[in-house]
Chains A and B, each alone.
Chain A
Amino acid sequence: MRTCLVVDDSRVIRKVARRILEDLRFRVEEAGDGLEALTFCRKAMPEAVLLDWNMPVMSGIDFLRALRKERGGESPIVVFCTTENDIDHISEAIKAGADEYIMKPFDGDILQSKFIEAGLLTHEAA
Chain B
Amino acid sequence: MIEGPRLAALVASRVCHDMAEPMNALIQGLEMLKENDTAGKNGDAIALMEHGVAKAWAKLEFFRFAFAGGGAAGGDGDGHLEEARAVAEKLYGALKPALEWRAPAVTMPRATLKVAMNALFIANESLPKGGVVTVDAARAGDIVEIRIGCAGPRAGVRPATWAALQGELPEDGYPGPVAQPLLTGILARQTGVEILQRSGDGAVEIVLRSPHFAMA
Contact = CB atoms under 8 A, between A and B. Distances in A.
Interface of A: 12-13, 16, 19, 83-87, 103-108
Contact of B21 (A16, A85, A104, A108): A104
A108 B30 CA distance: 11
B64 interface: yes
Nearest to B23: A105
Nearest to B30: A107
Given A19-B32, A105-B27, A107-B28, A87 B75 contact: yes
B168 interface: no
Contact of A103 (B20, B25, B29, B32): B20
Interface in B60-77: 60, 64, 68-71, 74-75
Contacts of B29: 16
Given A83-B21, A85-B70, A85-B71, A107 B60 contact: no
B60 A105 contact: yes
Contact of B28 (A16, A83, A87, A103): A16
A108 B31 contact: yes
B74 A104 contact: no
B74 to A, nearest CB: 4
A105 B64 contact: no
A34 B176 CA distance: 44
Interface in B73-126: 74-75
Contacts of A87: 70-71, 74-75
16 contacts: A16-B28, A16-B31, A16-B32, A19-B35, A83-B18, A83-B20, A84-B17, A85-B13, A85-B17, A85-B64, A86-B70, A86-B74, A87-B70, A103-B71, A105-B23, A105-B60
Counting from the closest, the 4 A-B pairs by CB-CB distance are A85-B70, A83-B20, A105-B24, A87-B74
B162 interface: no
A85 B60 CA distance: 11
A12 B25 CA distance: 9
Given A83-B20, A85-B13, A85-B17, A107 B74 contact: no
Contacts of B60: 105
Contacts of A16: 28-29, 31-32
Contact of A107 (B20, B21, B31, B70): B31
